[in-house]
Amino acid sequence: MRPEDGEALGGGSAGDVYAVGDIALKVFSGKLYERTRHRLERELERLSALDGQILVPDAIEELPDGRCALRSELCTGSLLDLIETAGPLPVSDTLVLGSAIATTLAAAHEAGIVHGRLTPANVLFRATGEPVISDFERTLRPVFVRDPDHGRGLLAPDETVDERTDLYGLGVILHFALTGVLHDRPELLREDAPIDLLALTEHLLAEDPAARPAGAAQVAEILTELTAKSLVDELPEVPLVTIAPEEVPRKRSLWPVLTIGAAAVLVVTAWFVLPDSTEPVAQALPSPAVPSSPAKPLVELAAPADHGSMVDLSWQAPEGFDSAIVVAGETGDAKTTFVRKQRTARIPVEPGRTYCFQVQITDGGTVGESAPRPIRGALCRK
């Protein structure tokens, strides 16, 4: 079967993408010579080792007519398709998406890898709803030059392609998510968006690379703080749970408020990471009155896969429920990452530190939570 007999998904400056069965093939116009193939294989190995949400081709294929193709997981669509169909994203979704992209860029840049052509068409969504960045591989771009001006209006006006070029691409993505307008960008006037988000987006889109933020890690931190602040602003007026001081000189991790979509639910359990002790120190906490549900939805978190600086999580939950991951470390408060319909996630951690993980789910009314899962000998107490 020729790739062209499948569904055409789009094209770029170097190749065309087709859905062939349950895979995606990015097809290039010519043969892949041995030296270039070796260079491409090394690039794919580097990309596969990165911590972040990157769609890495899993095979290099030679078609019967001699052309080369990259085989990848088939995603459900792109950010470009989504917004052109449904319009601008809610601010909360924009913050979550921007944080995921910025975190991925930070990991890539730390490894010396730059995307260089980041646009809304490069942001894809897996069947789980997880966003991933595609087309990170750059080896074949100068080899198969079909349309060097493709997407030119969305790319940074930089003489040199580097990390600041990707920051401009992130600015384009945030602007598009907030306005729904891809070209001839209008002024950002979203009244429901925090001013800091609008200012950050304009900062990322600065013509002068030196005027953009210092790095993707800084942008990720800003977006994470804005997400947390937006959630706090939406909280119902209920008493906050506090923990009385203990004699054990450790910081405690208290589950934060989980807000997904328009629902705000106060989670009233607390748990601690106790790496060196077998004695329980958790105290019972008074629980504010919350609506009870007939049965809590079941969520099962598998044992975390510890990779040193990153931890892979996977869980099972009912269809239609949004998810949030709560991470508690031995040296700080619990942090929540909102992942919507995802059922897998990769979480950055500090090597050598102990951690506990838990997943919460909600459909806007009922809330479920998994049992906490430890790594590195941590003891997770509720």
| DSSP annotation string for 347-358 | EE--TT--EEEE
Question: Looking at residue 151, what is its pLDDT?
Answer: 64
Question: Looking at residue 271, what is its pLDDT?
Answer: 44
Tokens at residue 27, please?
């097809």
Domain with CATH 2.60.40.10 in the chain: 253-381
Question: Looking at residue 382, what is its pLDDT?
Answer: 64
Question: Looking at residue 231, what is its pLDDT?
Answer: 61
For residues 71 and 25, is the Cβ–Cβ distance under 8 A? yes
What are the contacts of 229-236 at 24+ separation with CB within 8 A? Answer: 229/194, 230/91, 230/92, 230/95, 230/194, 231/256, 231/257, 231/259, 231/264, 232/257, 234/259, 234/264, 235/259, 235/264, 235/266, 236/264, 236/266
Round to whole Å and give the CA distance between 11 and 23: 16
Residues 6+ apart with CB under 8 A from 99: 220, 223, 224, 227
Rounded to 10 degrees, the C-alpha dihedral 47/50/51/54 comes to -10
For residues 360 and 258, is the Cβ–Cβ distance under 8 A? yes
Which DSSP helix (H) or strand (E) runs through 105? Answer: helix 91-110
Fill in the amino acid letter for 115. Answer: H
Round to whole Å and give the CA distance between 234 and 231: 5
Question: Looking at residue 346, what is its pLDDT?
Answer: 82
Domain with CATH 1.10.510.10 in the chain: 1-233
Residues 6+ apart with CB under 8 A from 215: 106, 109, 163, 167
CATH 3.40.50.970 fits 1-233, yes or no: no
pLDDT per residue rounded down to tens, the chain (382 residues):
688 888 988 877 778 899 998 899 999 988 889 999 999 999 999 999 987 789 999 999 999 999 999 999 999 999 999 999 999 999 989 999 999 999 999 999 999 999 999 999 999 999 888 899 999 999 888 888 766 666 678 999 999 999 999 999 999 999 999 999 988 888 888 888 998 999 999 999 999 999 999 999 999 999 988 887 766 555 444 333 222 333 333 333 223 333 333 333 333 333 444 444 433 333 333 444 444 445 778 999 999 999 888 889 999 999 888 888 888 887 666 777 777 788 988 888 888 889 999 999 887 678 889 999 999 888 887 6
Round to whole Å and give the CA distance between 77 and 134: 11
For residues 304 and 289, is the Cβ–Cβ distance under 8 A? no
Question: Looking at residue 233, what is its pLDDT?
Answer: 56
Question: Looking at residue 291, what is its pLDDT?
Answer: 47
Count CB neighbours of 29 within 10 A. Answer: 13
User: Any idea what the Cα angle at residue 13 is, between residues 12 and 15, rounded to 5°?
Assistant: 60
For residues 176 and 81, is the Cβ–Cβ distance under 8 A? no
- What dotted CATH number matches 253-381? 2.60.40.10
